[in-house]
Structure 1
Amino acid sequence: MAEWFETVAEAHRRARRRLPRSVYLALVAGSERGSTLNDNIEAFGELGFAPRVADLPAERDMSTTVMDQELSLPVLVSPTGVQAVHPEGEVAVARAAAEVGTAIGLSSFASRAVEDVVEANPKTLFQVYWVGDREKVLARAERARAAGAKGLIVTLDWCFATGRDWGSPPIPEKLDLRTKLSFAPQGLVRPRWLSGFLRHGMPDLTTPNMVPRGEQAPTFFGAYGEWMFTPPPTWEDIAWLRERWGGPFMIKGITHPDDARRARDIGATAISVSNHGGNNLDSTPASIRLLPAVADAVGDDVEVLLDGGIRRGSDVVKALALGARAVLIGRAYLWGLAAEGQAGVRNVFDILRSGIDSSLLALARPSIDELTLEDLIIPRDFARHPVSEH
């Protein structure tokens, strides 16, 4: 089938061909010189496998449970902000995730309402940034709860280090006539992208989940501006939100073992080892390098996930062998969405599922639960942890 692609790399190539330059650059961006962005991907190549050749399992089980949600494979959708890559945006992603039996993390900066996304996939986990006072943050969470969201993700890995050595892509605050004319040349040379939005409406640059349902949604930059001027939360604030939420609760952005222990102590269900896809503080090591120390810090007390650099099913297996329960993907599914819409996202999940299955077969593991460090060949200097951890 011409629409089918066999690797995430091919989805990436198609996305680059089909997206306007500014939209594409926004997807691949990393902060400053991109050291963390690149390390997120390259670090996986430093890990080797120790395969077996006989007594291989005829069947392999990839199912798991994350935040009380039963998943058919250990890969979830990571929350990403306003999506201008496809007219259906997060709803198409949610449907694809539902088709394969996994959960979607929905950003509070998303372009589609949480009610629509939950309808498309009941296994929706709603993500919040700490924007505004406690009551505003809680109000967003309560709207998500009323819509049927099954868990809350609090993202803390963002320090507003948005400078990029190669320059940042221009992102308009609103799509008025002047803005449309200025971006028209980029759209005209990407007719497939443009025709899709012309049929369904141009990208919505508002954030409907930032306010109670029915209220006027702020623009992306309006919400971002409020976020910039909100004092960063304390651990006491996070503990307060976890108590008020009461259900499954994830803290995303953990890279330091001390923070992992603090998350455990306030009762977090899960933590995600993440550096915001290389968009936070550059020179932070790859998430996969930091995973072992974080996992060791909390043991089995907290579900540990990894976010950053997943491009293959074998990457997923490496993360699980190092202590992750599951992984979250961001750019990979966005490239699939750009390439072929909902079917492209499903395609990405199928690629990852196949890669996980092949890896389990070669490692003679009948289940992802049986993966261990013995399945990997790990360079002596691979892992990273703070000096205080030595």
Structure 2
Amino acid sequence: MATPAIFSRIENPWKQNPWFESVAVAQERARKRLPKPVYGALVAGSERGQTIADNQAAFAELGMAPHVAGHQAERSLGTTVMGQSISLPVIMSPTGVQAVHPDGEVAVARAAAARGTVVGLSNFASKSVEEVVAANPQTFFQMYWTGDRDTMVQRMQRAHAAGSQGLIATLDWSFSMGRDWGSPEIPEKVDLKTMVRMAPQVALRPRWLWEFGRTGQIPDLTAPNLAPPGQDKGPTFFGAYYEWMTTTPPTWDDVAWMRETWHQISGKPFMLKGVCRVDDALRAVDAGVTAISVSNHGGNNLDGTPAAIRCLHPIATAVGDQLEVVMDGGVRRGSDVVKALAMGARAVMIGRAYLWGLAANGQAGVENVLDVLRSGIDSALLGMGLSSIDQLTPELLVVPEGFHRTLGAPGSHGAAATPAPRATAAS
């Protein structure tokens, strides 16, 4: 679609200093820029929002014990995740349709590449896996358990052919989506009728409208990575959602099948995202996965699930020597990253934080978010007298009594271990 002449001749009338010093400032700029339903879709958690609130509040309960002297002049922030070397322990979590900016997932991929890290691409994304891998060869493709096995194999084959370096399976998603404050309106598709109906809300955010107008695009709410072979157009977001709702939930044997099938297709690593319990982490080991992400789906799954950072250390202690452990949920600053690494994570995944950067200033805004986190990580290492993130341990934190939530382990507080059989992966 050609750029309308009126937009091509107008310089951005809202141009301002694009740099921001914190993720909180990026969030505020995103709130002012985005139409209310779009912003609401980013911040909303499920039900009363208890889990999404705890994801952030829990980090504030953890303290640090800095040194007054003996600081290290040079500090190393690099690590590896699923075979990919990255310059800082932060990777981009896969998120659905990124209609906060015309370039969407491609802008995020370019920003991650510019800062030397991995991008995760949702199969509910608005940009194709081919486009995103072209922008960042360090791409992990993410899949939900949707459709039949033949369909899932086809999607894995496409991701591998495009150059994906790993697969992320996200299974922690339930029907618990009702929100006490009401869910934001997400249209089935953006057509003329929809634009007329939502025009009053969009008109209140002219900067967002201008950004799309100058590129000649309208927000795309379809999922190209779910398109059948030989077709370019995928289902709408709600079509994809319906496929997920009508697919029988996976068993642990299904997880093992998914991991083994991906390995046969690509030989590349496999991550299971959404682990909150020790017994589930042990089953993930049995299923042969390369990595797990300790996660509660950013507060969008079962409300009342503890913050991911509370569940991290017990899980890392139980399985951290058998697979890679990363964490996502509530990370907003570099010190949060350092706390997660001290608790046993190899790296963290961020979602809302980079989406706010994307909304605030496109690719440069995402780079800005990564720079903010990098600076915060470096400052924390400096203050604690460390020369590398590899030196981080729980003993370097001030951890209040009762902070950890050890779920699914004998004698733990919270859910007891489930005696169901543990899956065995195919060799």
Shorter-normalised TM-score: what interval? over 0.9
The residue number in structure 2 matching 1:287 is: 308
1:25 equivalent to 2:34? Answer no
Q: Which amino acid aligns with 2:153?
A: L
**In 2, Cα distance between equivalents of 1:302 and 1:62:** 21
Q: What are the superposed Cα offsets for residues 197-217 of structure 1, whole Å, 9 maximum, x if unpaired?
A: 123211111000012454131
Q: What are the superposed Cα offsets for residues 194-244 of structure 1, whole Å, 9 maximum, x if unpaired?
A: 011123211111000012454131111001001001000111111111111
1:388 equivalent to 2:410? Answer yes
Structure 1 residue 299 displacement after superposition: 2.5
Q: 1:389 to 1:209 in 2, by over 3 A?
A: farther
Q: CA RMSD in A?
A: 1.0
The residue number in structure 1 matching 2:247 is: 230
Which secondary structure state, in structure 1, belongs to the residue aligned with residue 272 of structure 2? Answer: strand
The residue number in structure 1 matching 2:365 is: 344
Q: What stretches of structure 1 of length at least 5 have no aligned partner? A: none
**In 1, Cα distance between equivalents of 2:33 and 2:192:** 23
The residue number in structure 2 matching 1:49 is: 64
Structure 1 residue 332 displacement after superposition: 0.2
The residue number in structure 1 matching 2:298 is: 277
The residue number in structure 2 matching 1:170 is: 185
**In 1, Cα distance between equivalents of 2:185 and 2:411:** 41
Map 1:1-390 → 2, pairs under 5 A: 2-200=17-215, 201-212=217-228, 214-215=230-231, 216-246=233-263, 247-386=268-407, 388-390=410-412
Question: Looking at CA atoms only, which structure, 1 or 2, has the larger radius of gyration?
Answer: 2
The residue number in structure 1 matching 2:417 is: none
**In 2, Cα distance between equivalents of 1:225 and 1:213:** 19
Structure 1 residue 139 displacement after superposition: 1.1
Question: What is the number of equivalent residue pairs in this alignment?
Answer: 390
- TM-score by length of structure 2 reads 0.90
Bigger drift between 93-102 and 49-58 goes to 49-58
Which secondary structure state, in structure 1, belongs to the residue aligned with residue 74 of structure 2? Answer: coil
Which secondary structure state, in structure 1, belongs to the residue aligned with residue 66 of structure 2? Answer: coil
Are the aligned partners of 1:336 and 1:344 in contact in 2 as well (CA < 8 Å)?
yes
**In 2, Cα distance between equivalents of 1:185 and 1:137:** 40
Bigger drift between 295-304 and 33-42 goes to 295-304
Are the aligned partners of 1:143 and 1:212 in contact in 2 as well (CA < 8 Å)?
no
Q: Which amino acid aligns with 1:72?
A: S
Q: What stretches of structure 2 of length at least 5 have no aligned partner? A: 1-15, 413-427
- TM-score by length of structure 1 reads 0.98
Structure 1 residue 52 displacement after superposition: 1.0
Q: Which amino acid aligns with 1:365?
A: L
Q: What are the superposed Cα offsets for residues 90-115 of structure 1, whole Å, 9 maximum, x if unpaired?
A: 00000000000000000000000000
Which secondary structure state, in structure 2, belongs to the residue aligned with residue 315 of structure 1? Answer: helix
**In 2, Cα distance between equivalents of 1:13 and 1:299:** 37
Are the aligned partners of 1:52 and 1:363 in contact in 2 as well (CA < 8 Å)?
yes
**Percent of aligned positions that are identical:** 65
Q: Which amino acid aligns with 2:280?
A: D
Structure 1 residue 388 displacement after superposition: 3.1
Structure 1 residue 374 displacement after superposition: 1.5
Are the aligned partners of 1:50 and 1:374 in contact in 2 as well (CA < 8 Å)?
no
**In 1, Cα distance between equivalents of 2:134 and 2:53:** 36
Q: 1:75 to 1:213 in 2, by over 3 A?
A: farther
**In 2, Cα distance between equivalents of 1:270 and 1:138:** 20
**In 2, Cα distance between equivalents of 1:5 and 1:84:** 21
Q: What are the superposed Cα offsets for residues 133-170 of structure 1, whole Å, 9 maximum, x if unpaired?
A: 11111211110100000000000110121100000000
Q: 1:190 to 1:214 in 2, by over 3 A?
A: farther
Q: Which amino acid aligns with 1:370?
A: Q
The runs of at least 4 aligned residues of structure 1 exceeding 2 Å deviation read: 211-214, 386-390
**In 2, Cα distance between equivalents of 1:192 and 1:15:** 11
